[in-house]
Amino acid sequence: MMVEHAEQTAQMPDFGGRKFLAVLDGTEECWVAVTFAAYRMKRTGGIVKLLVVIEPDDFQHWIGVEDVMRAEAYEQANQWLDEAEAKIAQIGNIEVEREIREGRTADEIEELISEDKNISILVLASSTSTDGPGPLVSTLAARGANALPIPVAIVPGILTDSQIAELA
């Protein structure tokens, strides 16, 4: 007896508007987080949102110096964003959004997540130092498990790009 089966097409859900947020702060581990976010978005679809936060005490000195230091901080932020975009472009054709904010990093992350409802995961990477998981991971962990309304993925900072590609 021959049985006919209706052909079912497995379709992936459309994740086109979904965003993974990665924070650039100049640490080695931030590049691991960017790499993971990019490979994951390449695989599942979506946008990598890059954030650089300029801390206010970085340039609150004398009035004449403040403007110069702020300009230098923005220049550094744009350099990190350019480097991250170049790295992401090497991984694949992945949409990237860039953002620079001034304030306390953890506060600005929370605010951005509350403003942009398409951010579905915050991607961080742990430090390879024996001093702890890194300043950003430590700060967010100290705020408690329910501080953010989205999952936080913490990628081991020791992973290579090829290991990340396999995991993502």
For 71-125, the pLDDT digits (tens) are 999 999 999 999 999 999 999 999 999 999 999 999 999 999 999 999 999 999 9
Residue range of the domain that includes 118: 19-167
pLDDT for 111 equals 97
The answer to whether residue 23 is domain-embedded is yes
The answer to whether residue 66 is domain-embedded is yes
pTM, full prediction:
0.85
Count of structural domains, the chain: 1
The answer to whether residue 3 is domain-embedded is no
In which band, very low, low, confident or very high, does the pLDDT at 2 lie, cut at 50, 70 and 90? very low
The answer to whether residue 24 is domain-embedded is yes
> Taking CA 26 as the corner, what is the angle to CA 105 and CA 118, rounded to the nearest 5 degrees?
50
pLDDT for 11 equals 40
- CATH number, domain with residue 125: 3.40.50.620
- Tell me the β-bridge partners of 54: 102
Beta-carbon contacts of 4 under 8 Å, excluding residues fewer than 6 positions away, are none
The answer to whether residue 12 is domain-embedded is no
The answer to whether residue 67 is domain-embedded is yes
The answer to whether residue 75 is domain-embedded is yes
State which H helix or E strand residue 2 sits in.
Answer: none
- The lowest-confidence range among 116-120, 130-134, 144-148, 154-158 is 144-148
Beta-carbon contacts of 154 under 8 Å, excluding residues fewer than 6 positions away, are 124, 125, 126, 133, 137
Identify residue 14 by its one-letter amino acid code: D
Task: Calculate mean pLDDT across residues 37-41.
Answer: 98
What's the pLDDT tens digit per position in 3-35?
A: 444 444 344 444 558 999 999 999 999 999 999
* Positive or negative torsion for Cα 141, 144, 146, 147: negative
The answer to whether residue 6 is domain-embedded is no
Nearest to 105 by CA among 46, 45, 27: 27
Neighbours of 165 (CB within 10 A): 17
DSSP string, 50-107: EEEEE-GGGS-S-HHHHHHHHHHHHHHHHHHHHHHHHHHHHH-S-EEEEEEEES-HHH
